[in-house]
Amino acid sequence: MTYLGSIDGRGPKLLEREGATNRPAPRSFEPRHAGIAPASTTRKRRRLGPGPAIPFGLQIGPLVLVLIWVAGSGLSLIDPRVLPSPWAIASTFGELIADGRLQSNFLTSSVRALLGLGFGIAIGLLLAIASGLSRVGEALIDGPIQIKRAVPTLAMIPLLMLWLGIGETMKVTIITLGVIVPIYMHTHNALRAIDERYVELAETLRMSQRDFLLQVVLPGAVPGFLLGLRFAVTLCWVSLVVVEQINATSGLGYMIELARSYGQTQVIIVGLVVYAFLGLASDGIVRLLEKRLLSWRRTLAH
């Protein structure tokens, strides 16, 4: 385990004992001698991690993108046929909200996406635990998941229509199938990546199988699960474009597809902006969750 990331004053003990004195001071050209502290011991040590967090750092990138869009359109550097201006999109937003289309489509899509997400998380988690903690489970489960991962959802649609018809069941199932994969992959990987030392420690402490699962394995898998969840929350939204191409009369994906057949680029971009926002917001929620659940962790992120 590396403690490099913890050089932030919160957990320096181990570092000081193990190696701080062996490390060169930043921009220090004095010759180094083992065991002799650098000339200027009071100078601040150079941080190797990314440094302290910038307030609202995660929002800066998207904001820059929007600014480029605004400036590009304002200065007529962007052809409006290629990308309509932000104010044109804003007015289309206004129209779609005024006649209620955006809200009703959003509502239908949300139900589909969240149902798919819910089922996907539950199934993906169960499969990952079954496959991660038992060799029989792995033999039975891991292969099919890898197959699912390799098969494009679009190509599966005809088959799913044969099995499930063209109604809601088919649509939610497609989203669920998509969500299962990242949840499974990351949880399974985290379960299998638990450090042997913890297993040995648990054995030394004569932990029961149950306590070992509850106190070592499952907490150890949480970071992986949460990473999977970050993929899953955006995936459940983007799947809508695929599932709502079939026999849908409402939903964000349907709105985008319909606009495509009439060449209404602005409506398409409104849909994309909603997706972008949903993606960013869902991801933000999972990151918050991460912060809470993983507060025990000392990593580069903190």
Partner 1 sequence: MIMPVASGNIAARAQEPAPLLATVPPGTKLVVGDPQTKVALQLSGLIDEIPFEIEWTNLSGGPQTSEAFRARALDVGSVAEIPSIFANWNDLPVRNIAYREREDPIGHPIYRFGIAPGVEVKTLADFRGKRIAFSPGQAQGALVLRALQAAGLAKTDVTLVELPSTGDAYPIALASHQVDVAPIGGVLIRRYLNQYGADGATVIEHGLRDDPSHLYAPQWVLDDPAKAAALAVYVEFWARATQWVNDNPEAWVEGYYVKDQGLNQEDGEYLVELTGKQIVPANWDEVVARHQKTIDLLATELGYEPYSAEQIFDRRFEPLGATALAAR
The verdict on 249 binding partner 1 (CB under 8 A) reads: yes
Q: Does 100 bind partner 1 (CB under 8 A)?
A: no
31-39, 53-61, 250-258, 284-292 -> range binding partner 1 (CB under 8 A) = 250-258
List 21, 165, 203, 291, residue binding partner 1 (CB under 8 A): 165
Q: Which is nearer to partner 1, 92 or 239 (CB)?
A: 92
Q: Which stretch binds partner 1 (CB under 8 A): 49-57, 112-120, 257-265, 271-279?
A: 257-265
Judged on CB neighbours under 10 Å (0-12, 13-18, 19+), 289 is middle
Rounded CA gap, 49 and 128, in Å? Answer: 32
Cβ neighbours of residue 271 under 8 Å, at least 6 residues apart? 252, 253, 255, 256, 259
Q: Does 258 bind partner 1 (CB under 8 A)?
A: yes
Among 255, 269, 270, 278, binds partner 1 (CB under 8 A): 255
Single out the residue of 191, 217, 236, 259 in contact with partner 1 (rule: CB under 8 A): 259
Q: Does residue 155 interact with partner 1 by CB under 8 A? A: no
Task: Identify the residue among 29, 76, 158, 206 touching partner 1 (CB under 8 A).
Answer: 158
78 near partner 1 (CB under 8 A): no
Using the contact rule CB under 8 A, the part of the chain among 49-57, 108-116, 215-223, 247-255 near partner 1 is 247-255
CB 166 within 8 A of CB 246: yes
Residue 89 binds partner 1 (CB under 8 A): no
- Confirm or reject binding of residue 269 to partner 1 (CB under 8 A): no
Tell me how far, at minimum, the Cβ of 248 lies from partner 1, in Å.
6
**Does 240 engage in binding with partner 1 (CB under 8 A)?**
no
248 binding partner 1? (CB under 8 A):
yes
Among the candidate windows 69-77, 143-151, 223-231, 252-260, which touches partner 1 by CB under 8 A? Answer: 252-260
Residue (of 141, 144, 133, 232) closest to 191 by Cα position: 133
In the block, residue with structure tokens 């050209």: 29
Euclidean distance between CA atoms 69 and 86, whole angstroms: 7
Positions touching partner 1 (CB under 8 A) are 81, 101, 158, 161-162, 165-166, 246-249, 255, 257-264, 267
